[in-house]
Amino acid sequence: MDQSISWITVGSVEDIPRQGSRVVRTDFGDIALFRTVADEVYALEDRCPHAGGPLSQGIVHGARVTCPLHSWVIDLASGEAVGPDEGCAGHCPVRVVDGAVQLGLAAFRPGRGGCGHG
Amino acid sequence: MSTHTNPSTPRERLVVIGNGMAGIRTLEELLAKAPDRYDITVFGAEPHPNYNRIMLSPVLAGEKTFEQIVLNGRDWYEANGIKLLTGDRVEVIDRANRAVTAISGLTVPYDRLLIATGSTPFIIPVPGSTLPGVVGFRDLADVDAMLEAAAKGGRAVVIGGGLLGLEAANGLKVKGMDVTVLHLMDTLMERQLDRSAGALLRHELERRGITVLTGADTAEIVGNESVSAVRLKNGQELPADLVVMAVGIRPNMALGKAAGLACGRGIQVDDAMTTSDPAILSVGECVEHRGQTYGLVAPLFEMAKVAAARLAGGTEAAYTGSVTSTKLKVTGVDVFSAGDFTGGKDCEDIVFRDAARGVYKRVVVKENRILGAVLYGDTKDGGWYFQMLKDGTEVAPVRDTLIFGPNFGGGFGGEGAANPKAAVAALPDSAEICGCNGVCKGTIVKAITEKGLSNLDEVRSHTKASASCGSCTGQVEQLLAITLGDGYAGEAKAKPMCKCTDRTHDEVRRAITSLSLKSIPDVMQRLEWRTPDGCHHCRPALNYYLLCEWPGEYKDDSRSRYINERVHANIQKDGTYSVVPRMWGGLTSAQELRAIADVVDKFAIPTVKVTGGQRIDLFGVKKEDLPAVWADLNAAGMVSGHAYAKGLRTVKTCVGSEWCRFGTQDSTGLGVKLERMTWGTWTPHKVKLAVSGCPRNCAEATIKDLGVVCVDSGYELHVGGNGGMHVRACDLLVKVETEAEVLEYTGAYMQLYREEARYLERTAPWVERVGLEYIKRRLVDDAEGRTALNARFLFSQSFSQDDPWAERANGSVDRHEFAPLAQVG
């Protein structure tokens, strides 16, 4: 991990429901924090690459989330849509230190759309 | 990205360049032999998990979906601790520092490197070959491009009449394009077929409406901004909206070459699949081995086996080259070829033709051994010939009947009858059944008996037989039938619930009851779910089944609810929500309307609309405002209308005898009673009721899940109707005389639907599936059963009639759903 990243604490792991998500409002727009059944934490832009649906509202299963609008399935680690859909949600480095969830917002990487709903 | 602790002991680092069939097969073999030896990183240039490239043709033809050809989903990589980087192409191999660098800038060091970069389609360098609209046929992106073009119709020209070109041509034709195949040689698939079989194939393709031009040499691809035509050297011009180049493949060795590895036609490897750098191995279509390159799947897998054994530390395994066979994957066209069938000196041709059946078979024999075989129209004996060819079997004893296959009296199998089961039974244990994965009959039979396998999927997962192209599926099923006898139930036709399990909805439900399973993790554990926590298909279904089976006992799992049911409002396309308060039987009052108007003003709600179910819908409510909106509505006595639920939605009514001059009964009053009884219930899908006060049916009761039509002498109950995409009018269930009977029938009907319909199955398809007669038998003929069903419904209702808005409005439930975690910056 790049040592130069500055980390911002946004809450604790326990604040995020297991198999659920919470939103952090940032200058880059809403970031959705996900907590999987295995207690891994991931951070994606709260915006499906397909039609902009709020991924934080989807069903979390394994390390994936299903978008609530049209059921695109997004890989939490990479932000990539799971085939056959194509597109990538923006993502942001995240780490857990002593139960505190920290975002590396400066290293936010925007996504790329799927079918051009913008 | 997530932070994980590093394993305590450093392991050797293995980097794999290429996420295709050869590279990942090597990893599968390696993990079986030495699961903990390496920290593995896989780079894939395509943005997908590992898929079955040879099945792209059925995807193009619409016979399979991409999901169906995925070999290893991302969960497989996770489960095996493999780091997968898709959509990131490795650009540089730094052999001095033993590290690779990808296009993203990411550098990963290695101790061992496996290059499995495959091949690229050869694009003939004619003018216009780089125009938009010219595609290869190699990966999913190519298929997508072809499907996109096909969706617009128009004309396609396929350059190359080999295996890939013909599969592409067939797929595009199936998708509705006008297709012309250009082939340089005189015979289609001339490397695999002789002239006779080539001609039969050509006739078949022409019969399907595909134009075939042989001896066609492309001079130029014409077009300004995109392709418009293909011009041949003889001056002929063919209009085209899409050009598919399928003239062949070239090993993708650029990366190896740039790194200074010895390369010829491909990256050169020895029998240990090792390149000129001992730290680097290579497998698949990118390699040259003993002067040969390969473009078929079976050799790749043989290479993968050797590479894996070597990576696992073995020193024995060696690859000595492959003999290959070919099948054309065009549905309804059976073509098989293997070995050398050019014939010539000292060769003997044995030919069989059956014009009526369109069958052509040719076996080339030299010195009493099979040298090659071409089969057209009837390929079931291909494996038998191929096995003898590979084994160098002496065929003199069966020479006279060889061409009729193993089932003919004189075959090796002795008295095989002329049926496919006997043909498979007659094969020796060493006979190869699955050519793709090199699985022989003995291995499959042994797996069936020793591991207790009972169906095709199990055989696939244990042996890989029929897990690639699937053309041996029939033979594997025969082996199951032969080995298990009556114990083989055949392949189930019912669809499994989802990809997490092989069990159907009905099977899962029965198990929940018979095994007393009381939580989602219980179900997943006992029924051997393949995923850690299911998916968005099975979790909501399981949650419903458990809720229905164990009323008052099962605790609803909000994480397994679709968003609308989790936050008790309907999500809209911009991420805001709509709110619908309940209006009992469609009745409202000045006080309610005033409260609604106040809420609209207070929260600046942009749109207010009357729904089809006789209530008022407030659109554009921000999620964080929901609890406050509900609090205000609650204060005026209103509760959730469950307009978002797989549950009771509305009871639509007309005014009935209270006001209407035609009304026969108090339809509004009855509607309110029905709604009071049924609200809050969870059902497999949404449920809408209606009560009309006379047969004029103003409440449209006969297209509802349950509709009551009042008549002078009582009440007609109609069931199984809906509007929607497939409108279905109700069936008349029964006519009753009192309101009490209406209520009892309704409760019993609701409960029967709740207990027996599959999740997301509305009453209309459910009634059609089980039949109206069945519903009548349970509800009308069996009075005792009806009473019991109604009692179970009312019991479950005693736990479900709490207003979900009230408990959330006061912040006691799910507060985290409605507030952001933090604000940064």
What is d(CA B535, CA A71) in angstroms, rounded to the nearest whole number? 11
Identity of the residue in B73, B532, B821 whose CB atom sits nearest the CB atom of A22: B821
- All structural domains of chain A with their residue ranges: 16-91
Does any domain span residue B737?
yes
pLDDT in tens, B74-94: 999 999 999 999 999 999 999
Closest Cα in chain B, distance from residue A4 (Å):
16
Interface test with A, best of B55, B70, B147, B821 (most A CBs within 10 A): B821
**B530 chain-A contacts, CB cut-off 8 A:** none
Both tokens assigned to A30: 């809403």
Both tokens assigned to B427: 């094969």
Same domain, B788 and B691: yes
Both tokens assigned to B636: 């005026």
Band (B492; pLDDT cuts 50, 70, 90): low
Q: Which of B116-120, B382-386, B494-498, B569-573 has the lowest mean pLDDT?
A: B494-498
The ipTM of this complex is 0.89
- Domain limits for position B153: 134-247
Q: Which residue has the higher pLDDT, B724 or B317?
A: B317
Q: Which residue has the higher pLDDT, B681 or B55?
A: B681
Percentage of chain B lying above the pLDDT 90 cut: 59
B531 to A83: CB separation less than 8 angstroms, yes or no: no
Band (B437; pLDDT cuts 50, 70, 90): confident
Identity of the residue in A10, A18, A71 whose CB atom sits nearest the CB atom of B821: A10
Helix, strand, coil shares of chain A, percent, nearest 5, are: 10, 40, 55
pLDDT in tens, B229-256: 999 998 999 999 999 999 888 999 999 9
B575 to A62: CB separation less than 8 angstroms, yes or no: no
Same domain, B146 and B242: yes
Same domain, B578 and B727: no
Both tokens assigned to A102: 């920290």
Identity of the residue in A33, A61, A88 whose CB atom sits nearest the CB atom of B536: A61
So what's the pLDDT on residue B416?
37
Same domain, B653 and B673: yes
A86 to B559: CB separation less than 8 angstroms, yes or no: no
User: Which CATH number characterizes residue B582's domain?
Assistant: 3.90.480.10
B532 to A37: CB separation less than 8 angstroms, yes or no: yes
What is d(CA B12, CA B781) in angstroms, rounded to the nearest whole number? 72
Band (B356; pLDDT cuts 50, 70, 90): low
So what's the pLDDT on residue B494?
64
**A66 chain-B contacts, CB cut-off 8 A:** 535-536
The stretch B312-332 carries a mean pLDDT of 84
The stretch A89-93 carries a mean pLDDT of 91
Q: Which of B232-236, B586-590, B732-736 has the lowest mean pLDDT?
A: B232-236
Does any domain span residue B243?
yes
Does any domain span residue B33?
yes
Mean pLDDT in chain B?
89
pLDDT at B533 over 50: yes
SS (H, E, C) B695-755: CCCCCCHHHCCEEEEEECCEEEEEECCECCCCCECCEEEEEECCHHHHHHHHHHHHHHHHH
So what's the pLDDT on residue A112?
80
Band (B686; pLDDT cuts 50, 70, 90): very high
So what's the pLDDT on residue B412?
44
Band (B409; pLDDT cuts 50, 70, 90): very low
Q: Render B396-463 in DSSP notation, one character per residue.
A: GGGGGGGGG-TTSTTSTTSS--SSHHHHHHHS-TT-EEETTTTEEHHHHHHHHHHHT--SHHHHHHHH
Domain boundary residue, one of B226, B247, B268: B247
Same domain, B544 and B623: no
Helix, strand, coil shares of chain B, percent, nearest 5, are: 35, 25, 40
Query: Which secondary-structure segment (H or E) carries B798?
Result: helix B783-800
The stretch B563-577 carries a mean pLDDT of 94
Both tokens assigned to B775: 């519903």
Sign of torsion over alpha carbons B787, B789, B792, B797: negative
Does any domain span residue B639?
yes
Residues facing B354 on adjacent strands: B359
A·B CB contacts under 8 A:
141
Identity of the residue numbered B89: R
Percentage of chain B lying above the pLDDT 70 cut: 96
Same domain, B557 and B572: no
CA distances from residue B327 to B53, B407, B487, B699 in whole angstroms, order as listed? 15, 21, 32, 61
What is d(CA B802, CA B807) in angstroms, rounded to the nearest whole number? 8
Please give the DSSP secondary-structure letter assigned to residue B499: T
So what's the pLDDT on residue B741?
97
Burial B442-454 (b: 16+ CB within 10 A, else e): ebbbebbeeeebe
A73 to B536: CB separation less than 8 angstroms, yes or no: yes
Same domain, B554 and B598: no
Identity of the residue numbered B159: I
Band (B558; pLDDT cuts 50, 70, 90): very high
Same domain, B28 and B95: yes
Domain A16-91: assigned CATH number: 2.102.10.10
Domain boundary residue, one of B204, B229, B247: B247
Q: Which residue has the higher pLDDT, B222 or A86?
A: B222
Closest Cα in chain A, distance from residue B645 (Å):
15
Q: Which of B489-493, B692-696, B736-740 has the lowest mean pLDDT?
A: B489-493
User: Which CATH number characterizes residue B33's domain?
Assistant: 3.50.50.60
So what's the pLDDT on residue A116?
37
So what's the pLDDT on residue B506?
87
Neighbours of B519 (CB within 10 A): 15
CA distances from residue A84 to A5, B83, B229, B442 in whole angstroms, order as listed? 34, 21, 30, 37
Does any domain span residue B369?
no
pLDDT in tens, A22-51: 999 998 899 999 998 878 899 999 999 988
What is d(CA B187, CA B185) in angstroms, rounded to the nearest whole number? 6
So what's the pLDDT on residue B469?
60
Domain boundary residue, one of B199, B218, B247: B247
The stretch B623-651 carries a mean pLDDT of 95
Same domain, B781 and B696: yes
Band (B415; pLDDT cuts 50, 70, 90): very low
pLDDT at B679 over 60: yes
Same domain, B142 and B273: no
Please state the domain count of chain B: 5
A57 to B571: CB separation less than 8 angstroms, yes or no: yes
Both tokens assigned to A38: 């295995």
Identity of the residue in A8, A60, A77 whose CB atom sits nearest the CB atom of B1: A77
pLDDT in tens, B270-314: 999 999 999 999 999 999 999 888 888 888 999 999 999 999 999
**Phi, psi (deg, nearest 5) at residue B218:** -75, 130
Among residues B660, B677, B663, B659, the alpha carbon closest in space to that of B585 is found at B677
pLDDT at B419 over 60: no
Alpha-carbon torsion, ordered B770, B771, B776, B778, to 10 deg: -10
Does any domain span residue B375?
no
Does any domain span residue B320?
no
Both tokens assigned to B144: 């997508």
Same domain, B222 and B275: no
**Phi, psi (deg, nearest 5) at residue B351:** -125, 140
Same domain, B210 and B286: no
**Phi, psi (deg, nearest 5) at residue B697:** 60, 50
So what's the pLDDT on residue B425?
82
Q: Render B12-75 in DSSP notation, one character per residue.
A: EEEEEE--SHHHHHHHHHHHHH-TTSEEEEEEESSSS-EE-GGGHHHHHTTSS-HHHHEEE-HH
Among residues B724, B774, B753, B698, the alpha carbon closest in space to that of B707 is found at B698
pLDDT at B350 over 90: no
So what's the pLDDT on residue B155?
95
**A38 chain-B contacts, CB cut-off 8 A:** 532
Length of chain A as a residue count = 118
**Phi, psi (deg, nearest 5) at residue B429:** -60, -30
So what's the pLDDT on residue B470?
59
A83 to B2: CB separation less than 8 angstroms, yes or no: no
Parallel/antiparallel/unpaired status of strands A100-103 and A94-97:
antiparallel
The answer to whether the CB of B758 falls within 8 A of the CB of B506 is: yes
So what's the pLDDT on residue B352?
78
Identity of the residue in A19, A61, A94 whose CB atom sits nearest the CB atom of B531: A61
